[in-house]
A and B are shown apart, each in its own frame.
Chain A
C-alpha cells in the first residue's frame, strides 16, 4: 500500500507540517513524497529520517507551484491509496487542482486518517463542536488535507530515500502564474508554531500600538506573539501572527488571550493549549468558557500591571 505526502520547501527544508504527515503516513503504508522546491541533501535526509522511502522532486522555479505540481502528481499517484496534504496555502492549491484533475473528492480539516479497505478521515466540523468520521467511497487515491499538529513529527532513523527528479510538464495556462517577488515579514522571538508560551492580542487592544505591550509582555515570558484574524485584517500585525482556522494551530503550555472575543474560528487554533488565560472586559465573552483563568477587566490596565509585576520579581 503506498501513501503519498505533499511537501513544500520552507527555508531550504521540508515544511514542518509535511514531516508530521510523513510520520503519520509511515504507519499507514510505504511513503512516497512529492517535494516542491530547490531540494538539498539535508532535505532528503530529513524526509528519510521521518519515514519516506522515495522522494519525487519538482523545482518549479519562478512558476507558482500549483499548476505544474498538480499536473505532475496526477501522473504519479494513480496507484496510491491516499495522498496527504497539510493545510498550507500551497498544499491547498495543489490538492484542489490535483483532485479536479483526477476527479476525486477531497476530505479537508482531517485530524486522523485510517485505511481499512477504504480511507476514513476523522475531523471536527462547525468550529470544532462536532467530531465526524467521513468515509471516502470514490476510487483511490483518496485525497486528504489534515490540520497542523494533528500528528507529531517523529524521526524513526529511516535511511536517505531514493530521489527522482520530476520534469516540468507542459500544463498550459495552469502554469502561467509567475512569482515576481518574495517578501519576508520578520517577527521577533520564538516561532509562533513551536512556542511554549504565547501572548495573543485581539481587536480589544484598540490599535496597532496595543501590540507594543504584547511584545513587552512576551519578552518577559520568553513568549511568541500571536493575534486574531481581525487584527491581521486590520493590518496591525502580519498574517504570520494569525492563530486559528485559517492561521496557525498552536499547542503551547500557556496561551494568554488579550482582548480576544473567542470566535470559534479562533478557538480551533488554540484550544489545545494546556493553560488558557483570558483578559476581556466583557464578562460574557465566549473565550471565558474555555479559559482556566478569566480576568474580566481592561487590557490597558491589567497588561501594564502584569508587566510591572513580572519586572518587580526579577
Chain B
C-alpha cells in the first residue's frame, strides 16, 4: 500500500510565538520542528506499510525554507518526502493548503492518506476533510485505532459518548488522534534520514495559486485570569480547599 502522510513543520511550541505586524501571520523561523501531533499519523502509516510491504511518503506545505521537521519524520522511518515550499504560499489558509497537498498527492499517486486531526499552531481542524473532498475519497476521521487490508480500511472513530467502527474501501483518507503512541527515531533512522529523497515543488508546478480569502482585521491580547492564593501543603491545605468550596456554596 502506498501511504501518503500529511506532516506540518511548526515553530517550536516551547518558544513564544510572534506575529508579523503587517498581516498578523505567525513568524516562521527556518528551524521549525515536526508538529508532535503528526507523529501518531506517521506511526500508523509505518505500521500499515510494514504489514502490507508498502511505502510511506510525507507531504508538507511550508513556505519557510525549513527541512528540520521533515527530517524528524523521515527519521521515524518514512521513505521519502514531498515538500511544497514557495513564498507565494505565505499566509495560506486551510483551503489553499488542502488544494496544494491534494495536487501533490494526485501527481505522485496514493492508496491511503493519513493526517492528524489538527495542527498545534493553527488548529483550524478541517484541512484533512477539505483534502478528502478534493481527492474524492471517503474521510474516516478521528481514528483512535486503524486496521487496513483487502482493499479496505476500518477505524474506531471517536464520538462524543464513545466510538463507532467505520469502514470504507481504499483509496481513502483517515485522520488520527494522538492516542496512537509514536515510536522514537533510532540513531540509524536519524542518520538514514539525511539521505532520503525530498522532492521540493512550487505552487506553480502544481498549478495552484494562493486563494486565501480571509483577512485578520485586529489582534489584541486577551486579559489573563489573575493568579490567586498559593498554599504549600503541610497536611492541612485540604481545610483551605473546603473553605473555598464553602464560599462557592458547593458544600
Taking Cβ atoms with an 8 Å cutoff, the residues of A that contact B are 10, 15, 64, 66-67, 70, 87-89, 92-93, 95-97, 99-101, 103-109, 120, 124-126, 128-138, 145, 172-185, 196-197, 221-222, 229, 232-233, 235, 238-240, 245-246, 253-254, 256, 265, 271, 274-277, 279, 283, 288-298, 301-302, 305-306, 309-310, 313
Contact = CB atoms under 8 A, between A and B. Distances in A.
Contacts of B212: 105
Secondary structure class of chain A's binding surface, majority of residues: mixed
Contact of B126 (A95, A134, A179, A245): A95
B219 to A, nearest CB: 5
20 contacts: A92-B126, A104-B213, A106-B94, A129-B224, A132-B218, A135-B214, A135-B217, A173-B169, A221-B245, A232-B179, A279-B233, A288-B227, A292-B228, A292-B229, A293-B241, A297-B233, A298-B233, A302-B238, A306-B242, A313-B242
A179 B165 contact: yes
Interface in B66-96: 93-95
B10 to A, nearest CB: 12
A291 B131 CA distance: 41
A288 B230 contact: yes
Contacts of B229: 292-294
Nearest to A264: B13
Given A128-B222, A245-B123, A306-B238, A96 B231 contact: no
B146 to A, nearest CB: 13
B166 A179 contact: yes
A294 B162 contact: no
A106 B95 CA distance: 8
Contact of B129 (A96, A138, A283, A296): A96
A174 B132 contact: yes
A103 B99 CA distance: 10
Chain B: number of interface residues, binned into ranges:
35 or more
A300 B153 CA distance: 43
B241 A129 contact: no
Given A283-B230, A310-B251, A295 B216 contact: no
A297 B250 contact: no
Given A64-B138, A306-B241, A174 B161 contact: no
B125 to A, nearest CB: 5
B244 to A, nearest CB: 5
B79 to A, nearest CB: 26
Contacts of A179: 164-166
Contact of A172 (B136, B179, B214): B136
A145 B129 CA distance: 14
B118 interface: yes
> Which of B125, B169, B230, B231: most chain A CB closer than 10 A?
B125
A127 B121 CA distance: 9
Interface of B: 17, 19, 24, 93-95, 98, 117-118, 120-134, 136-142, 144, 154, 157-169, 171-172, 177-179, 211-222, 224-233, 235, 237-242, 244-245, 247-251
Contacts of A238: 162
Q: Which 3 A-B pairs have the closest CB atoms?
A: A96-B129, A297-B233, A138-B213
Given A145-B126, A177-B166, A275-B247, 10 more contacts: A96-B94, A96-B130, A99-B94, A106-B124, A106-B130, A132-B220, A133-B217, A180-B166, A253-B248, A293-B231
Secondary structure class of chain B's binding surface, majority of residues: mixed
Contacts of B217: 120, 132-135
Contact of A108 (B126, B216, B248): B126
A101 B167 contact: no
A108 B127 CA distance: 11
B167 A290 contact: no
A232 B165 CA distance: 19
A291 B127 CA distance: 35
Contacts of A108: 94, 123-126
A229 B40 CA distance: 14
A224 B65 CA distance: 47
A220 to B, nearest CB: 8
A174 B250 CA distance: 49
Contact of B162 (A177, A184, A291): A184
Contact of A296 (B161, B222, B230): B230
Given A100-B98, A177-B166, A254-B245, A133 B126 contact: no
B160 A10 contact: yes
Contacts of B118: 246
Given A128-B222, A296-B231, A103 B95 contact: yes
B214 A292 contact: no
Given A105-B94, A176-B138, A184-B161, A295 B241 contact: yes
B125 A305 contact: no
B231 A295 contact: yes
B251 A174 contact: no
A305 B235 contact: yes
Given A132-B216, A135-B215, A173-B138, A295 B162 contact: no
Given A89-B141, A221-B245, A294 B168 contact: no
